[in-house]
Amino acid sequence: MNIKRTMKLSFLLLAVMVLTMAIYGFAAANTVPASQAGDGNGAVSGYTVSAIHYVLNTTTPANVSQLTFTVAPAVPAGGSVYITLTGTNALNISRSCTVAGTAVTCDFTSGPAVTVPVVDILDLRVIAAQ
């Protein structure tokens, strides 16, 4: 009776070992492609905005038709520059600008056209990003 029990236990142990080896062999056969991952931080440096020039509208010189300025360093290809003009009489205009190296042009006469009275401008905010 004791021998029967030992045989059953041995057979069960052998079955568990075979199953374990099969699972290990299957898991060892899996391949995972190489990949990259990372975590870290870096300094964010700003841009210097200079040579701000408000281009007056030729038809109505009391309004601004364009705003031009330079940024340093140059905004790389794929980067973007946005401006916001705020002031009196509920002036709050945000606009995407065209960038060519360090030269930036913000046009108020197209897409969609807006009226920007010179007398209402109080603040200019420039947002530049790579």
pLDDT in tens, 94-105: 999 999 989 999
Task: Give the range of the structural domain holding residue 106, as residue numbers without chain letter.
Answer: 48-129
Q: Has residue 61 been placed in a domain?
A: yes
Q: Has residue 103 been placed in a domain?
A: yes
pLDDT value at position 30? 65
pLDDT at 53 over 90: yes
The total number of structural domains that make up the chain:
1
The whole-angstrom separation of Cα 7 and Cα 3 is: 6
CB-based contacts of 53-56 (< 8 A; 24+ apart in sequence): 54/118, 54/121, 56/118
Phi and psi torsions of 43, nearest 5°: -75, 145
Contact (Cβ atoms closer than 8 angstroms) between residue 108 and residue 64: yes
Tokens of 130: 């790579």
pLDDT in tens, 12-51: 888 888 778 777 766 666 677 787 777 777 777 788 999 9
Q: Has residue 92 been placed in a domain?
A: yes
Q: Has residue 13 been placed in a domain?
A: no
Local confidence band at 64 (pLDDT 50, 70, 90 cut-offs): very high
Local confidence band at 10 (pLDDT 50, 70, 90 cut-offs): confident
pTM to 2 decimal places: 0.65
The whole-angstrom separation of Cα 117 and Cα 63 is: 4
Q: Look up residue 79 and give its amino acid.
A: G
- Mean pLDDT over each residue of the chain, to the nearest integer: 86
* Residues sharing a CB contact under 8 Å with residue 70, sequence separation 6 or more, in sequence order: 49, 50, 51, 102, 103, 104
Q: Has residue 15 been placed in a domain?
A: no
Share of the chain above pLDDT 70, in %: 94
Looking up residue 101, the CATH number of its domain turns out to be 2.40.30
Q: Has residue 41 been placed in a domain?
A: no
Q: Has residue 105 been placed in a domain?
A: yes
